[in-house]
A = this chain, B = another copy of it.
Amino acid sequence: MTFKAKLLHTAQKNQSLVCIGLDPDPRLMPALDVFEFNRAIIDATLDLVCAYKPNLAFYEAQGIAGLTALQKTVEHIAGRVPVIGDAKRGDIGHTAGAYARALYEVFGFDAATVNPYMGFDAVQPFLGYKDRAVFVLCRTSNPGAADYQDLDCSPAGAGHARRLYRVVAEKAREWNQGDNVGLVVGATHPGEILEVRQICPRMTLLVPGIGAQGGSLEAAVRYGTDASGGGAIFASSRQILYASKGSDFDRAAREAADGMRREINSILSRRSAG
């Protein structure tokens, strides 16, 4: 089954476009080990999400123990919900192949995020995995994103701006021959979500930055979903994982995830009614 089919199946079954970013931060989480924390979050939210998205940085920061916990986390999910390895990797072709093996074969992710700066051969090895997906960073949710992604790369005399993230979206569309490419567009930039959605009407968009980063859910959902009201994954991490610092953290996470799920669904039904 392709990633898109798996995502659609889960999103429909759970009536959800919510993705939980599994980013265990020892300074914020209750005194549990990383795997126990993730397991509690997963068990409390499995019927409310369309995907999970562990960011590898938080596991690497805890060394071998953290990476072992990541493996156990993917094994615990056991294919019940698609898992996106948020790794933002990118390297020359030969080396990118090793990253693709690590993310898809060793860790067993259904999808991975990659960084486009090194161009086509940094992404190509990921495209060869027809049953997985690769999400290319396009317009990210952080303040520094503007440093390069907003640079105007229009040909001289074009008369209109063509920002770098737009070039990235257009190239991703070319690279998407296997229908397994998606784009990362941060919720903090609704105008850019709309623009990218217009360039790639049928591509899956991964939209981080909901919640803690301050992105508006309303605009992200209106602009990010495709004509069918799907095709987008809205990721939130801290707002759900750390909804409570007490022993009820899993119940609080469930409530926060369900709240976000309902809010997205309500925006979607207003949109289709309007």
A-side residues, CB < 8 A to B, are 23, 25, 55, 57-58, 60-64, 67-68, 71, 88-93, 95-96, 98-99, 101-103, 105-107, 115-124, 137, 140-149, 151-156, 164, 167-168, 171, 213
Q: How many copies does the complex hold?
A: 2
C-alpha spacing A110/B80, complex, angstroms: 41
Residues of B near A101 (CB, < 8 A) are: 61
Asked whether A64 and B57 contact (CB < 8 A) given A142-B119, A145-B119, the answer is no
A95 and B149: CB pair below 8 A? no
| A3 to B188 alpha-carbon distance, docked (Å) | 37
**Chain B residues within 8 Å of A98, by CB:** 25, 55, 57-58, 60-61
Given contacts A60-B98, A95-B55, contact A118 B140 (CB under 8 A): yes
Give the distance to chain B from A231, nearest Cβ to Cβ, in Å. 24
Q: Which chain B residues border A71 with CB–CB below 8 Å?
A: 63-64
- With contacts A67-B67, A98-B58, A151-B167 taken as known, whether A120 is within 8 angstroms of B144 at the C-beta atoms is yes
